[in-house]
């Protein structure tokens, strides 16, 4: 039972790592296309500043979540197919 739980934790950690890597890659790509002025603006909804940077974070979080989900599904499917053999 502990062995099975350890695999689940390992798979979640691997999926989280994929999510973080995807977040970082997408944010770096978005940030590279921003001007220096856009990068320096604080995100402040009331002052209506930082919307480009905020969108970059939202896009990066979305990509990270998708990467986490896909890798979790792939790892679960791999583990299931190994158990059936």
54 lies in some domain = yes
Looking at the 3D structure of the chain, how many domains does it have? 1
pLDDT bracket for residue 1 (50, 70, 90): very low
Tens-digit pLDDT profile for residues 37-50: 999 999 999 999 99
1 lies in some domain = no
Question: At which residue do the structure tokens 């790592």 appear?
Answer: 17
Nearest to 56 by CA among 37, 32, 72: 32
Nearest to 57 by CA among 30, 39, 35: 30
74 lies in some domain = yes
Tens-digit pLDDT profile for residues 46-62: 999 999 999 999 999 99
Residues in the chain: 85
6 lies in some domain = no
Give the chain's end-to-end CA distance (angstroms, integer).
Answer: 19
60 lies in some domain = yes
Nearest to 54 by CA among 22, 27, 18, 16: 27
What is the pTM for the complete model shown?
Answer: 0.82
68 lies in some domain = yes
4 lies in some domain = no
Residue 59: domain span: 12-84
């Amino acid at each position: 039972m502990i062995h099975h739980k350890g695999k689940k934790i390992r798979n979640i950690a691997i999926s989280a790592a994929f999510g973080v890597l995807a977040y970082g890659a997408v944010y770096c790509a978005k940030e590279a296309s921003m001007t220096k002025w856009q990068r320096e603006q604080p995100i402040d909804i009331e002052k209506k500043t930082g919307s480009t940077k905020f969108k970059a974070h939202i896009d990066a979080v979305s990509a990270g979540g998708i990467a986490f989900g896909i890798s979790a599904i792939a790892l679960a499917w791999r583990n299931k197919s190994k158990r059936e053999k």
